[in-house]
Chains A and B, each alone.
Chain A
Amino acid sequence: EDQVTQSPEALRLQEGESSSLNCSYTVSGLRGLFWYRQDPGKGPEFLFTLYSAGEEKEKERLKATLTKKESFLHITAPKPEDSATYLCAVLNYGQNFVFGPGTRLSVLP
């Protein structure tokens, strides 16, 4: 059975303190790995898609990377507005999306 785990469960950072979130997966066949941001009371907002090991994508202070077993979301010099839950999801060859439980990020001013 395909599985996605994320760590840490929660992370508190000071403004400007860079860090990384981890998404580990086991999947029968990976078609893509997706990162989403979810604010309280809102639906997930799409950030990135990664397709193959070694691939990297960047958007503002966020950079996502992918290996054969995990993905990292690096946050450089975060700001309070980056506070949210970050979800990763894998799409397998059965056309099924499997989401991880998310990492709750709090960035303190």
Chain B
Amino acid sequence: GENVEQHPSTLSVQEGDSAVIKCTYSDSASNYFPWYKQELGKRPQLIIDIRSNVGEKKDQRIAVTLNKTAKHFSLHITETQPEDSAVYFCAASKGGSYIPTFGRGTSLIVHP
């Protein structure tokens, strides 16, 4: 089955800095890669996703890049703000059931 590794487990940055979270996956058939943000005590919510036919996608301060050859994808957050503090999960899935395999999460702490 699919295996998703996520690094780092904790990331501490100053407000205004950039943050990068990296994930690798094992199943070359995976073709859908979402990122979820989970604030303390709240449900995971999708923040951005990318499909395997695209190398990069941006949404304001958030971007995701995908390298299919190397089987890794990354989340980039620019101009971080304290409200970006949360746990971020990457996931990988493939067509059909689209059952996602999640990474273990990255706790992002943005210091004011």
Query: Do A and B assemble together?
Result: no
